[in-house]
Structure 1
Amino acid sequence: MFNCSLRTLRTVPHITKCLYSTKQNSYLETGIDFLKLSLARSIQTHRDLYSKTNKHYHDYTLLKLCQHNNVDINELFKVDAELSNKLNDYKLPKKVYVGLSSGIDSTFSAALLSQIYPGEVHGIYMQNWGKQQDSSIRDGKKCYDQDIKELNLLLKKDNAFDVKQFHVKSFEKEYWTSVFEPFLEDFKNGETPNPDISCNSMIKFNALMKYIDEVLEKDNKDKDYLLVMGHYCKRMNKQGIFIAEDVGKDQSYYLSKVDPLAFQKVWFPLGHIFKKECRQLSKEFDLSNYTKKDSVGICFVENERVKSKDKISRTRIFTQFLSDYIQDQEGHMVSHLNRKDITKEDNVIKPLVANFVQKTEDSERSPDMIKVYWKANHKGLHTYTLGQRVKEVLPQSDEFVGKWYVSRKDLEKNELEVVIGRDHVDLYDQIIHFKDILVQDLQGLENSTKIAVKFRSLHLGVTSNDKQLIEIDSLNQNNSVTLKHKQKGINPGQYLVVYDFNTGQVLMNSKIKQKVEP
């Protein structure tokens, strides 16, 4: 039933579930519990943000669903005199489409809407990666096959997951041309791309919405529908996206490149709750996948897991995967070192280091430094990221104690520069240059009293604020940002996302450029 060939569609009709009325009432009560929990968090968020900005921030979809399900929101009416009129103008569409995987976030979202939404609820599974694109000799089990099988089982079981129709749509061609090919090209150019961000901007909130408009809603002139996704992110006011309540699961970083107009038709029900609460509510909905582990890594890499009795690191799997598409080109591994640390007074290399050295030459950086070419070669620049520990064997001596790390890539010379020590100064940067700007909220960017950034989705080491934001000194005219403190592991090709520090709203997305050398 679910065997979906390239660029085809399968639609599974509604499966009537014969449930006892007490069970149905129980599911509705669980949905009401979700609304009450989310509303309480939303009220607290409104209170916090209003105290900082003197502006009202609301999740209108949440509040409309509260009204429909007789959940009292009078507390908000008392503090925002205009809210009643705004909600009167905000209409819930007649139809909802829920983006589905087999994970609990999306299936819970679909089950929730099945119980509390006053309209049709449809599910859509996006098949983005398939056998037609698999040039690897490794023939592991495909994640989309397993996903569809698990969704099929959920549809047949007695639970709250009760969508009217379940669509399976292939976006393999779009994914290949819009996400995967640029992903490979970025690696070839020495960058470290993030395909999850591209997938959101090009597929989930672009190609999918076009498909809904042009196929599923082709007879609906107003295109009156709501797209619900299981991302941890808040959407408040007309289209603004904000850091989720569960900061550790927040996905606003990954959504920052999506066309801001798309968010007018999108709702993220998980924005106000924590993952552990999603699991508990999923259990109460009788969803059998409520204990399923979170998906990690990139799906098209996970598809290619090597069958082995030994535990294989994700880094190794990823490197093996890339080798199917990018030719490995070995090159020199080099270091610029203090001359006194590597040579004796007669300029002879010290014995403990000599066995690791292929050759040396004067460093262009300083007369007191020497450029060392190590005997160990790198395996291809695309297999390394800045700040990564290298596993090649390099010297250990009185002057060189600790692990070696990647500090720079030279594409022209095909050289990988390494330094010793995880806190080496060359691993840190304070100025980040960026390009390819997408502004999410121009007015917010211009009027924000304090902005901050993220250059990856989580900054676990940040303890100065509860949103894990990196504070900055300035956003500069030359498309660069000066950080308040130096940071490690800033990679070209990754994304620099600008936030309002006080509200956690995403203001701008940009792509990090290669470091500008002095």
Structure 2
Amino acid sequence: MKPQRIVVGLSGGVDSAVSAWLLREQGHEVHAVFMKNWDDALDTGWCSAAEDLRDCEDICATLDIPLHRVNFAREYRERVFAAFLSELAAGRTPNPDVLCNREIKFRAFLDHALALGADALATGHYARTARTADGRVQLLKGLDPGKDQSYFLHALEQRQLAPACFPVGALPKREVRAIAARLGLVVHDKKDSTGICFIGERDFTQFLAQYLPAEPGPMRTPDGECVGTHRGLAFYTLGQRQGLEIGGRRGGSGAPWFVAGKDRETNTLIVVQGSDHPALLAAGLRASKLSWIAGEAPALPYRCSAKIRYRQADQPCTLLAIDGDTARVRFDTPQRAVTPGQSVVFYAGEVCLGGGIIDAAGG
């Protein structure tokens, strides 16, 4: 690839830092951009943006590349956070990282990078791209199976992927950290961020209580027996074990309790005992808001594999029918905790085909 001006989204983490170095070593003109996506005024001392910015300044000084700053807090609140709260209030469990990639990193940030004269945009995602014979861009899994992040990028379109590159996508994480250590980058041993970005290490329920009203209701078994009280359906997700606070019951099996469903009409949380309870398993699902990397759906029925959560092993399945914006998926093996609001992402080997939002188990 001939030398280009490439704008790197620098987060203050090791992956984007090494991405910037790799591109500079390849002879490109590299510019770094630090995105501020969360409003400090919404927090009381938690936000790590100031620390991340200091790390970015140190990285750019070490690599001798310019650093730009941009504030997307308004766009993030309108396009990502508002949708996140709306989905929770509707009883679903959204994945804001998917929306952030589609609406912020590869829309607002892409527009900003192009305005800076960029030929391409780079991030520290563990993913890869390839061109097909007809010129389309494919999204491929990152080569490190433990770090592959194509799941979070499945909603991108051709125009968003075409100028994108993922420099660390072909590297194992241990090598990325080794490179950073050799370069003396301050972030070489910085802990990876986990969980929802704007919540961080904070208690999930306490954070949400600032934005969603608490609506307590009964916890019941599928047979209707009341075994406790929940704090609000929005604060729970299917398959959840922690935080149910169901005490020991006379005559009970002693097995742990899990969330198996939500009944919004009666504000009831359905709970069951045992991780392998039949109520936790589903042979298929229905999904909507479909997005296909190639720009169109494959011919159906279609045999492929799917993930219903990040880092899940690929699950063989069949795409049975698509009615407009809706897909029906049948798995070869029943899946545990199929969660409305989460993403189902489809793969053909190492190629990410696209995905959609889970509406319901079954189908």
TM-score of the pair, normalised by structure 2? 0.92
Higher helix share: 1
Aligned-residue offset at 1:198: 0.4
The residue that corresponds to 1:363 in the other structure is none
Aligned to 1:392: 245
1:131 aligns with 2:46: no
SS in 2 for 1:180: helix
Q: 1:178-224, CA deviations, whole angstroms, 9 ceiling, x for partnerless residues?
A: 000000000000000000000000000001111233x323xxxxxx6
1:323 maps onto 2:228 in alignment: no
Question: Which residue of 149, 154, 166 maps to 2:59?
Answer: 154
1:236 pairs, out of 130, 144, 154, with 130
Q: CA deviation at 1:114?
A: 1.9
Q: Does 1:122 align with 2:122?
A: no
Residue identity opposite 1:295 in structure 2: S
Q: Deviations over 1:409-446 (max 9, x none)?
A: 01111000111111100001111100001111257833
Q: Find the aligned partners of 1:485 and 1:516 in 2 and give their Cα distance.
A: 13
- 2:80 aligns to what? 179
Distance 2:344 2:3 in 1: 34
Q: How many residues are treated as equivalent by the alignment?
A: 355
Please say if 1:216 is aligned against 2:69: no
For 2:39 and 2:85, the matched residues in 1 are separated by: 17
Give 1:426's aligned amino acid.
A
Give the match for residue 471 of structure 1: 316
Instruction: Return the offset for 1:111.
Output: 1.6
**1:379 maps to 2:231:** yes
Structure 2 residue aligned with 1:167, among 47, 64, 68?
Answer: 68
Aligned CA RMSD, in angstroms, stands at 2.0
Alpha-carbon distance in 2 for matches of 1:493, 1:227 = 29
What is aligned with 2:6?
96
Q: 1:203 to 1:387 in 2, by over 3 A?
A: same
For residue 93 of structure 1, report the CA deviation from its aligned partner.
Answer: 5.8
Give the AA of the match of 1:143.
S
The 4+ residue runs of structure 1 with deviation greater than 4 A are none
Find the partner of 1:143 among 45, 48, 67: 48
169, 172, 179: which is aligned to 1:281? Answer: 179
Deviations 1:209-255 (A, max 9, x none): 11233x323xxxxxx61111110001111411111110111100000
Deviation at 1:336, TM superposition (A): 2.8
Q: Which amino acid aligns with 2:74?
A: K
Alpha-carbon shift at residue 260 of structure 1 (Å)? 2.4
- Aligned partner of residue 154 in structure 1, secondary structure: helix
Retained in 2: the 8 A contact 1:239–1:261?
no
Is 1:442–1:507's contact at 8 Å kept on the other side of the alignment? Answer: no
Which residue is 1:67 aligned to?
A: none
**Judging changes above 3 Å, is the alpha-carbon distance between structure 1 residues 401 and 141 closer, same or farther for their aligned structure 2 residues?**
closer
Find the partner of 1:506 among 348, 352, 363.
352
| 1:387–1:489 contact (8 Å) kept in structure 2 | yes
The 3-state SS of whatever aligns with 1:299 is coil
Counterpart for residue 332 of structure 1: 218
- TM-score, normalization by structure 1: 0.65
Q: Distance in 2 between matches of 1:116 and 1:93?
A: 8
Identity fraction in percent: 32
Aligned with 2:335 (options 487, 505, 509): 487
Give the deviation of 1:450 after TM superposition. 3.8
Contact residue 401 and residue 421 of structure 1 kept, 8 A:
no
Return the structure number with greater strand share.
2
Maintained 8 Å contact 1:498/1:506: yes
Distance (whole Å) between structure 2 residues aligned to residue 405 and residue 288 of structure 1: 42
Deviation at 1:458, TM superposition (A): 0.8
Contact 2:301 2:320 in 1 (8 A): no
Rounded to whole Å, the distance in 2 between the matches of 1:474 and 1:153 is 48
What amino acid sits opposite 1:387 in the alignment?
G
Structure 2 residue aligned with 1:360: none
Q: Alpha-carbon deviation of 1:384?
A: 0.6
Partners in 2 of 1:481 and 1:447 — Cα distance?
11
Q: Within the alignment, does 1:451 sit opposite 2:304 as a pair?
A: yes
Letter in 2 for 1:485: T
Which residue of 2 is the match for residue 19 of structure 1? Answer: none
Partner SS state of residue 156, structure 2: coil
Tell whether the 8 Å contact from 1:205 to 1:262 is kept in structure 2 after alignment. yes
Structure 2 counterpart of 1:176, which letter? R
Aligned to 1:427: 280
Distance 1:399 1:450 in 2: 42
Cα drift, residue 394 of structure 1 = 3.9
Counterpart residue type for residue 98 of structure 1: V
Aligned positions of 1:14-163 closer than 5 A: 64=1, 92=2, 94-117=4-27, 119-132=28-41, 134=42, 136=43, 139-156=44-61, 159=62, 161-163=63-65
The alignment partner of 2:222 has SS state of: strand
Which consecutive unaligned segments of at least 5 residues does structure 1 have?
1-63, 65-91, 218-223, 306-316, 338-370, 460-467
Q: Secondary structure at the match of 1:247?
A: coil
